[in-house]
Structure 1
Amino acid sequence: MPDPTVLQAVRFAGAHALAIYAALLLLVMLTAGLVARGLLPLRGPSAAAPEPLSPVALLLRFAAGFACLVGGAMLFATIAEELHTEPTLGQLDEAFIVAMIDHVPELALRAFYLITVVGNRETLITLGVVVTAALLVLRRRGLALGWALAMLGNGALNPTLKHVFERARPIHPTHWLTEDGFSFPSGHSSGAVIAMGMLAYLAVRLLPRRWHVPAWIAAAGLAFSIGASRVFLRVHFPSDVLAGFASGTAWLTISIASIELARWAKRRRRAPQVSGVELTR
């Protein structure tokens, strides 16, 4: 059984879930904005072509990516192990859901239903096709391939994880939405992190710099809200959503790092050719 103090705190959190969501949403968006401002600027199409990354800069960038990858993987593994070996986390999940039932108004549930539709499989498939086609029209084949592989990879990874863990969904669904299948990890949460994260990355690569920070903030806020909507609609436990965020972050890191590595390698191949042309002038 969970510690009584912890159980009481979880029930309090469930009863005040809307206020906690609002506070966390603000924190997530502020953090995204600060991180975006603090990163080395990735120049948009209106800026001059950036210099190739030095080996040290490239190493630092991939070290940061490696930290995100390891952090996401470790968080996912920790949650999965806790659910598999001890009943405590599952009991706390259930206590949170039960405490939340009578404290979320109908208007909020309606809003969360509209938000959750953004993360539906059909929506993400449509988004994936449209963005891929747009990138191909813009002749950005590398970005199109990276985007498509990121979306398809998560589409294959999440169902696999669900069938590995086979966790049942909450037994208190709202009248707004019921879901079949397994619960852990949340596919909406991981899919939202991948889709919104990749859209923010594409905005950094393709749009003027004034759009970079707003893109990061919007992506973080929407991804977080899609994940939270699954808890408020009671089709996922909080730990499902947190695990979905973790697995999505890990896969997003792999996807962006792969695209950046391909871009760096392409610039390295082109550098001797450019030097040779200059020497013949």
Structure 2
Amino acid sequence: MELDSSALRHAVQSLASHALPAFGVALVVLIAAVCGLWWLGLRYGVHRETSRFAPLAYLLAYLALGFALIIGAAALFAEIAENLGDGRKLGQLDLLFSDTIRATISVDALRFFVLLTHLGDPILLTALCLAGALVLLWQRQRGLCIGWVGAIAGNAVLNPLLKNIFERARPLHEHGLAFADGWSFPSGHASSSVVAYGMLAYLLVRLLPARWSAMRQPVVAAAAAVAFATGSSRVFLQVHFASDVLAGFASGAAWLAVCIGALELARYRKRTA
């Protein structure tokens, strides 16, 4: 289907008219998918004494999956960026989606998303980064501390670079509940939330005591939900277009996969040294 087809425009407008229930459904589907993938990982992806393959094979499989995620996320980002240049295509769909949300969403719903969007504010994530670094240093987890700070700081450098490359203006809004300056593409709140909360979940999964192992799946699901909700709030508040947020998710997921892959590779080398 062409991006400028009338059928697609109608579908986008219909989705935006029902954005709140669609957001709720997407959130539930995301949590269910994360829980399902976690179950599959525990069943088939964990090395045991009875496993047919060596630990190295499992590491290589996970690195391959991570590499596939990086390639897929990069391809999604590139596809979005390529279509932004033609105002008759993705840009018009973004504008239609944003205008329809502006005309249909209530002020009370906007106030709810104002609270959600603060979960991705730079000052909050900076404080989280510093607090996490102090805890990791106190626990003598120097390697994890470097990976944690590097992941968040690296994304904080990468996102502005991408914004300056594309120089996309933000959508207009009149509700006065949220403000943002600078360029729009890709969304910094979306990418930084994926990286920060994804890394936090990774650290908790690695460091939680064995007696709290049942908490690992909820931690990962909660991190995915928070990142998705934070990024989505930017669309509802009309400080970003939908494609900005989708591209932010893609760039954040790619960088997160790189950071976790590097930490897992270092972990394996330490075990076998």
TM norm structure 1: 0.89
Task: Tell me which residue corresponds to 2:49.
Answer: none
Are the equivalent residues in 2 in contact too, given 1:11–1:96 (CA < 8 A)? yes
Task: Tell me which residue corresponds to 1:22.
Answer: 24
Identity of aligned residues (%): 44
CA RMSD of aligned residues (A): 1.7
Are the equivalent residues in 2 in contact too, given 1:97–1:237 (CA < 8 A)? yes
1:228-239 mapped onto 2 (5 Å cutoff):
228-239=232-243
Figure out how many residues of one structure are paired with residues of the other and give that number. Answer: 261
State which drifts further: 150-159 or 173-182. Answer: 173-182
- Quote the offset at 1:84 in angstroms: 2.1
| AA matched with 2:24 | A
| AA matched with 1:75 | L
Give the distance between the partners of 2:96 and 2:242, measured in 1 at CA.
Answer: 11
Determine helix, strand or coil for the equivalent of 1:184: coil
Give the distance between the partners of 1:66 and 1:268, measured in 2 at CA.
Answer: 22
Task: Tell me which residue corresponds to 2:6.
Answer: 4
Task: Tell me which residue corresponds to 1:128.
Answer: 129
State which drifts further: 206-215 or 154-163. Answer: 206-215
State whether structure 2 residue 217 is matched by structure 1 residue 216.
Answer: no
Determine helix, strand or coil for the equivalent of 2:178: coil
For residue 248 of structure 1, the aligned residue among 252, 255, 264 is 252
- Quote the offset at 1:102 in angstroms: 2.5
Determine helix, strand or coil for the equivalent of 2:85: helix
- Quote the offset at 1:227 in angstroms: 0.5
| AA matched with 1:109 | L
Give the distance between the partners of 1:9 and 1:219, measured in 2 at CA.
Answer: 30
| AA matched with 1:65 | G
TM norm structure 2: 0.92
Give the distance between the partners of 2:4 and 2:110, measured in 1 at CA.
Answer: 29
State whether structure 2 residue 69 is matched by structure 1 residue 68.
Answer: yes
Task: Tell me which residue corresponds to 1:274.
Answer: none
- Quote the offset at 1:178 in angstroms: 1.7
Instruction: Flag the structure with larger Rg.
Output: 1
- Quote the offset at 1:152 in angstroms: 0.5
State which drifts further: 26-35 or 80-89. Answer: 80-89
Are the equivalent residues in 2 in contact too, given 1:173–1:233 (CA < 8 A)? no
- Quote the offset at 1:213 in angstroms: 0.5
State which drifts further: 32-41 or 127-136. Answer: 32-41
State which drifts further: 129-138 or 202-211. Answer: 202-211
